[in-house]
């Protein structure tokens, strides 16, 4: 059956029995599809319809009632509970460099202890700021995949001492070596960021929790369970990583060299999922950027294309809250979808990006989610994406919500950074 699409929150065909959809969902849950012709009809919940069935018509109504309601649905059904308990934190400056990157930047390496005064549980934060800065500067913040030392060929960066996936370049026995320095520099474009007058604050996500099914045993979900008053099973690794991003924000707020009102949170792939959940959970982040975050990130879950809820929960059982697995075979029953997660960023600037060579992340599903989030941004008199059709390659669209689709594979490239920096310029250099 060929399916015709239109941009509407209602895309189901009413006369098809519900049992048919359920059987189709069960069959598809562990199978990937990358053909638009095979995408069956689906129905998306409307973020502006309140629990009592009434339509939300104002920003005040959204902030007071609807946003907390939708956020709770994501806690309950997708990511697990986000802990709000305050904990004593200590910051230790481990190293500073006044002439980093051939004199372009100053470097600061900060250890953030979560269990003061014991100082056994920590995250290492690497901060670069433009050497020419005359005052507090805006900052891009996010996680890297294999240690801070991988983002630049800077011998002054401390090597990570934590567990690292063996697939990482220059990793031996799950530990970093000098040969891994700068292994991910193309994904960070540090000098490009500095040239725009912005800083960069990055941490290794494994400092919060190792990314494997047993990572919770040595990560903060166990080590900080008592202090945070939350059980390990009440949230997943993505929730833990999102919590760590909020702790980075805590540090940025107290560093006088940083303009904490201008922090752009960026994440790629699984770390894009964490960035979106952190952006929803902590509204101090001024700009949120999702780079190919896919299933459980910016892509619609009810749309059968690329990675599915069932596949992601089987491959990465530690990422999400336990209840998300209930929807492995029945995404139709999921009370939320990712356009609603993106809506939680309103009215802050939001950028969603996809790649042609990354169909697993469902580029069209990411575009549609960004498009549909615009209904909530409109409550704040902010423009989202006007275009009804998926844009062509290298043709960014949108306003306060922006989207682009580039050539290439699942990655973060110079082209991506050029768009993100231009987006930041638009809000921060007016």
- List active site positions: 269, 410
DSSP 8-state code for residue 62: I
How many residues does the structure list for the chain? Answer: 430
To which residue do tokens 């390990």 refer? 232
Helix axes 237-254, 270-281, angle to 10 degrees: 60
How far apart are alpha carbons 200 and 189 in whole angstroms? 10
Compute the 3-state secondary structure of the chain and give helix, strand, coil in percent, each to the nearest 5: 35, 20, 45
**Other CB atoms closer than 10 Å to residue 130's CB: what's the count?**
20
For 65, phi then psi, to 5°, come to -120, -55
Instruction: Identify whether the C-beta of residue 322 lies closer than 8 Å to the C-beta of residue 79.
Output: no
> Omega before 300 cis (within 30°)?
no
Instruction: Identify whether the C-beta of residue 269 lies closer than 8 Å to the C-beta of residue 165.
Output: no
Strand order in the sheet with 137-144: 90-99, 105-113, 122-130, 199-204, 137-144, 258-268, 287-291, 350-355, 401-406, 397-398
Instruction: Identify whether the C-beta of residue 273 lies closer than 8 Å to the C-beta of residue 336.
Output: no
Start-to-end C-alpha separation, the chain: 50
Instruction: Identify whether the C-beta of residue 139 lies closer than 8 Å to the C-beta of residue 262.
Output: yes
């Amino acid at each position: 059956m060929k399916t015709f699409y239109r941009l509407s929150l209602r895309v189901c065909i009413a006369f098809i029995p519900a049992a048919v959809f359920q059987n189709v969902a069960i069959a598809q849950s562990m199978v990937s599809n990358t053909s638009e012709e095979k995408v069956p009809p689906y129905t998306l919940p409307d973020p502006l319809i309140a629990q009592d069935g009434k339509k939300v018509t104002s920003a005040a109504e959204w902030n007071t009632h609807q946003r907390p309601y939708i956020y709770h649905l994501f806690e309950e059904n997708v990511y697990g509970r986000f802990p709000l308990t305050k904990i004593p934190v200590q910051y230790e400056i481990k190293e500073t460099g006044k002439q980093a990157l051939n004199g372009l930047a100053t470097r600061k390496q900060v250890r953030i202890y979560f269990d003061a005064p014991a100082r056994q549980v920590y995250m290492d934060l690497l901060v670069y700021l433009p050497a020419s800065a005359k005052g507090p500067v805006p900052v891009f913040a996010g996680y890297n995949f294999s240690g801070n030392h991988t983002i630049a060929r800077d011998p002054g960066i401390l090597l990570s001492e934590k567990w690292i996936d063996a697939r990482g370049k220059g990793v031996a026995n799950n530990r970093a070596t000098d040969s891994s320095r700068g292994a991910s520099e193309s994904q960070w474009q540090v000098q490009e960021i500095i040239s725009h007058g912005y800083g960069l604050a990055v941490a290794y996500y494994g400092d919060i929790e190792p990314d494997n099914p047993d990572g919770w045993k040595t990560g903060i979900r166990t080590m900080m369970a008592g202090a945070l008053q939350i059980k390990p099973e009440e949230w997943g690794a993505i929730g833990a990583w999102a919590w760590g991003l909020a702790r980075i924000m805590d540090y940025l707020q107290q560093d006088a060299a940083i303009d904490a009102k201008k922090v752009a949170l960026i994440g790629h792939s699984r770390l894009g999922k964490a960035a979106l959940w952190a952006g929803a959970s902590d509204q101090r982040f001024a700009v949120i950027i999702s780079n190919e975050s896919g299933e459980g990130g910016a892509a619609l879950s009810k749309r059968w294309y690329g990675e599915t809820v069932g596949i992601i929960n089987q491959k990465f059982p530690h990422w999400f809250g336990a209840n998300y697995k209930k929807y492995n075979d029945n995404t139709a029953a999921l009370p939320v979808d990712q356009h609603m997660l993106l809506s939680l960023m309103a009215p802050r600037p939001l950028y969603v990006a996809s790649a042609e060579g990354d169909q697993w992340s469902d580029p069209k599903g990411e575009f549609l989610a960004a498009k549909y989030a615009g209904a909530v941004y409109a409550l704040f008199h902010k423009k989202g994406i006007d275009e009804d059709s998926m844009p062509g390659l290298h043709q960014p669209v949108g306003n306060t919500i922006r989207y682009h689709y580039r050539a290439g594979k699942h990655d973060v490239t110079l082209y991506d950074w050029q768009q993100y920096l231009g987006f930041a310029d638009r809000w921060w250099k007016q």
